[in-house]
Amino acid sequence: MREFGGLDVLVNNAGVYSFGPLESVTEAESHRQYNTNALGTLLATPEAVKLFGEKGGSIISIGTAGTQNPGPAMVLYLSTKSSIDIITRVLAKELGPKKIRVNSINPGGTETEGAHALGVMGSEFEKHLISQTPLGRFGRPEDIAPVTVSCRLKRRAGSQARSSSLQVACARNSKGPPSSGLREETKKTTTRFPELLTSSPP
């Protein structure tokens, strides 16, 4: 704050997740995911708004393309990330008059520390997700970073578009319902990688 003279952008990127069937959902895991993914965004955002001041600012939250094409065994995680979509739309209308732009970026499967910890990378589940992506590969953090910068630059340029949910190009194909193959691969993955139920942050 002292070095740059204030705050002008907030990126809500913190997130945790685990995959598993409905019967695996527990109160403790629900609190863990909702507290980080949804409540964390709600509590961090007003603190940033206080620091933006009259000049306004930019709020960018990281969601997931999975909310547009949900698969089995993801009910808890995707329910927390769908909250990001609603938070973005509501706050865009509420904060727009304060010169604050609100966007969400919704990437598809991305190679992160969490994906490695879950055992997704190199698995049949990864191969299935790749088969559903337009670019035919898993996403990488460097695919998402330029989109985040673009959202920030639009605010600096005085764009009047106050809200958008942007899907990164590597995102899962949103056409059609999840295939039976995805259901089977998810089942295999949760069986082969029990740590899916107790994953570390992505």
Q: Among candidates 43, 84, 60, which has minimal Cα distance to 8? A: 60
Rounded to a whole number of angstroms, the CA Rg of the chain reads 18
Buried b (16+ CB within 10 A) or exposed e, 164-195: bbbbbebbbeeeeebeeebeebbeebbeebee
The catalytically annotated residue of 19, 52, 77, 125 is 77
Is residue 17 annotated as part of the catalytic site, yes or no? no
Residue from 47, 91, 85, 45 nearest 66 by CA: 85
3-class secondary-structure state, position 10: strand
Q: No. of H helices and E strands in the chain?
A: 7, 4
By annotation, the residues acting in catalysis are 77
